Chain A
Amino acid sequence: MLRDVTFGQYYPTNSPIHRLDSRAKLIFAVLYITVLFMTYSFAGYAACALFVVMLAVISKIPIKTLLKSVKTVMFLVIFVSVINILFYNGNNLLWGWWKIQIYADGLIFASKMALRLILLVLGPAILTFTTTPMELTDGIESLMSPLKVLKFPVHDVAIIMSIALRMIPALMEETDKIVMAQKARGADFDSGNVFRRAKALIPVLIPLFVGAFRRADELALALDARCYNATPNRTRYKILRFKWADFIATLVFLAFATVLLLDKYLIGMDNLIWGLFQ
């Protein structure tokens, strides 16, 4: 049922991470992706995983819920791994048949790719779990504000984004209601071939579009009635402030990034560990 789908995946627990400045979290997410792409060692991935798990624990998100967000990319992960295992050319041939040769290097490379993809999803997932869509748009608007110099309509873009985000749950609820009403009149959405099913959606889509236009009209009127125009220097209800907690979070995050970069350029944990075994 649509009712069971929460928009985005905000998970309300009001943890310290939830209360961080959304701008800080956005920048952390971008930096996280950057250092993740610079990392090529298992030790580095382990550090990333540890960091993500630590964030999940602090923000009180069950690890199971967090792992669910990987589901959407699982197909890609498996696909990339299989392709890499089968067609990687390198050293240490393990097994070969016809044109397919599996190398130990290929296995290592494939598992690194898989780990990287999974970690790539998990990090930003923490951001969307702990930040409401509204906070995200506010943060993006604030981060984009330097573009105002170039006459880029930052505020208009932000208001369009937040209206769009606000409309999604309303439209989902409306869809849910219309689906129920048409089901009550005997509509059948779950049988027949693709074309039949597509046709069965017409009684839902038409009222939904009519309703969306009606809502948009009403909202435009309401905005006009309150003299809304995207004037510069509008004040806001929730002001983003960089607090002490944000400063501490920045230090923690920089420490994490430094560890990864040290591993890459100076220590090389993987080689050290290999060395111990050989």
Chain B
Amino acid sequence: MPIVVKNLSFTYMEKSPYEKKALDDVSIQIDEGEFLAVIGHTGSGKSTFIQHLNGLIKLKNGNIKVFDIDLNAKKPDLRRLRCEVGMVFQYPEYQLFDETVAKDVGFGPRNMKLSTEEVDRRVRKAIELVGLDYDEVAERSPFELSGGQKRRVAIAGVIAMEPKVLVLDEPIAGLDPRGKNEIMKLIIRLKNTISPTIIMVSHDMDNVARYATRVAVFENAKLLYSLPPDELFANSGELSRIGLDVPVAVKLANALRAKGVDIKSAITPESLVEEILRVKGGNNA
């Protein structure tokens, strides 16, 4: 079991007028091979939650164990933890700094104190994995690249550390539909090659429905649900009560059902099309 979180609570700026409870008694287990989507409003605690997973926020209340690293220990091995859990922040392209793409991607591996050859091997592998041409971009300045390329380079900088768990905070925010698709495909490719466990914060319910194996819903610092997407989106009333969106396919299916079409729940466009064809075929017969 890679990640076990028990009774995690966290408050920002405790005992000041700006005090804010960000996490309240959150418990969850994340298994190897899962694609966990984390959804919730801004300020619902999801960012605070994922920042706990690789020790960026010091654990105050509760227990967290990542693989065999116990974050409750007096001095947890943060260096190893950060090699095991890679973290891609929102707008990661704003964190590029080095002179060349290759040097920037190599920052993580160099901090891991790997040999030069190993660093070079990982940099080449990471750049190619994110779909860029190593020979073309390696020696260029990251600031010359296009927005989409910058984001890929930034993601390469994290996966060059070859983490077993990859955490992404809104990796497709601010991209056009094609860019979103490409990054989602990239994430799946990473899941199949380097990081078998993916945790992704997202507001894009269509992609959550399509790719996630489980969805964690945060609301007011609490973990409300942790369900497979089809079970979660079957209850779209509850989601709209807390003000969260549902996938387009679910909306359409609900609208059809309201019109009296006898349709079962579908959460992706493909499964909806199949459902419609099934119902239509049934009518024709």
Which A residues are closer than 8 A to B by beta carbons? 3-4, 6, 11-13, 174, 177-178, 180-188, 202-204, 206-207, 210-211
Which of A12, A184, A203 sits near B97, CB closer than 8 Å? A203
Closest Cβ of chain B: how far from A259's Cβ, in Å?
A: 33
Q: Which residues of A contact B82 (CB under 8 A)?
A: 183-186
Given A180-B51, A185-B82; A13-B111 close (CB under 8 Å): no
Interface set of B (CB-CB < 8 Å, partner A):
12-13, 16-18, 51, 54, 56, 79, 82-83, 86-87, 89-90, 92, 94-98, 107-108, 111-112, 143, 157-158, 161
Are A184 and B12 neighbours in the complex by a CB distance under 8 Å?
Answer: no
Offer 18 A-B interface pairs, CB within 8 angstroms, sorted by A: A6-B13, A6-B18, A11-B17, A177-B94, A177-B95, A178-B95, A181-B87, A182-B107, A183-B56, A183-B82, A184-B89, A186-B82, A186-B108, A186-B112, A187-B111, A207-B94, A207-B95, A210-B94
Residues of chain A with a CB closer than 8 A to B86's CB: 184
Q: With a CB–CB cut-off of 8 A, which chain B residues contact A12?
A: 17
Q: Is the beta-carbon distance between B97 and A211 smaller than 8 angstroms?
A: no
CA distance A178 to B107 in the complex (A): 14
Report the bound CA distance from A182 to B89 in whole Å. 10
Whether A4 contacts B13 by the Cβ 8 Å rule is yes
* A185 close to B157 (CB less than 8 A): yes
B14 CB to closest chain A CB (Å) equals 9
Whether B89 pairs with A203 at a CB distance below 8 angstroms is: no
Q: Could you tell me if A177 and B111 are in contact, using CB atoms closer than 8 angstroms?
A: no
Write the chain A residue with the least CB distance to B163.
A184
B residues in contact with A174, CB < 8 Å:
94
CA distance in complex: A188, B78 (Å): 10
- Give chain A residues whose Cβ lies under 8 Å from the Cβ of B158: 184-185
Query: A182 to chain B: which residues have CB within 8 Å?
Result: 95, 107
Residues of A within 8 A of B108 (CB): 185-186
| Complex A-B, nearest 7 residue pairs according to Cβ-Cβ distance, in ascending order | A186-B111, A184-B87, A206-B97, A185-B108, A181-B95, A181-B89, A203-B97
- A203: B residues at CB distance < 8 A: 95, 97-98, 107
State the CA gap A4–B107 with chains docked (Å).
28
- CB-CB under 8 A from A4, the residues of chain B are 13
Taking CB atoms, residues of chain B closer than 8 Å to A204 are: 97
A177, B83: Cβ atoms under 8 Å?
Answer: no
How far is B13's CA from A11's CA once the two chains are assembled, in angstroms? 13
Are A211 and B94 within 8 A (Cβ)? yes
Rounded to whole angstroms, the CA-CA distance of A185 and B155 in the bound complex is: 11
In the bound complex, how far is the Cα of B48 from the Cα of A3, in angstroms? 12
A181 touches B13 (CB 8 A): no
- List of B residues within 8 angstroms of A187 by Cβ: 107, 111
Contacts of B18 in A (CB 8 A): 6
A184 and B56 within 8 A (CB):
yes
Contact of B12 among A3, A177, A181, A183 (CB under 8 A): A3
How far apart sit A239 and B170, CA to CA, in the bound complex (Å)? 41
User: B54 — which chain A residues lie within 8 A by C-beta?
Assistant: 184
A186 & B83 in contact (Cβ 8 Å cutoff): yes
What is the minimal beta-carbon distance from B38 to any residue of chain A, in angstroms? 17
Rounded to whole angstroms, the CA-CA distance of A11 and B92 in the bound complex is 34
Of B17, B56, B98, B107, chain A has the most CB atoms within 10 Å of the CB of: B17
Closest residue of chain A to B78, judged by CB?
Answer: A183
19 other contacts beyond A177-B95, A184-B158, A186-B108, with CB at 8 A cut-off?
A: A3-B12, A4-B13, A6-B13, A177-B90, A178-B94, A180-B51, A180-B56, A180-B89, A181-B89, A182-B107, A185-B108, A185-B158, A186-B79, A186-B107, A187-B107, A187-B111, A188-B111, A207-B97, A211-B94
Alpha-carbon distance A3/B56, docked complex (angstroms): 12
CB distance from A10 to the nearest CB of B (A): 9
Q: A11: which B residues are within 8 A, CB to CB?
A: 17
Q: How far is the CB of A198 from chain B (nearest CB, A)?
A: 15
Give Cα A185–Cα B92 distance, bound, in whole angstroms.
12
Q: How far is the CA of A106 from the CA of B18 in the complex (A)?
A: 44
CA distance A13 to B16 in the complex (A): 12
Neighbouring A residues of B98 by C-beta, 8 Å: 203
Q: Which residues of A lie under 8 Å from residue B56 when comparing CB positions?
A: 180, 183-184
How distant is the Cα of A56 from the Cα of B279 in the complex, in angstroms? 73
Across-interface contacts of A13 in B (CB, < 8 A): 17
Residue of B nearest to A206 (CB): B97
Which residues of A are found within 8 Å of B17, using beta-carbon distances? 11-13
Q: Is the CB of A185 within 8 A of B89?
A: no
With CB as the reference atom, state the residue of chain A lying closest to B80.
A186
Which residues from A are CB-within-8-Å of B79?
A: 186
Bound-complex Cα distance A21 to B27 (A): 49
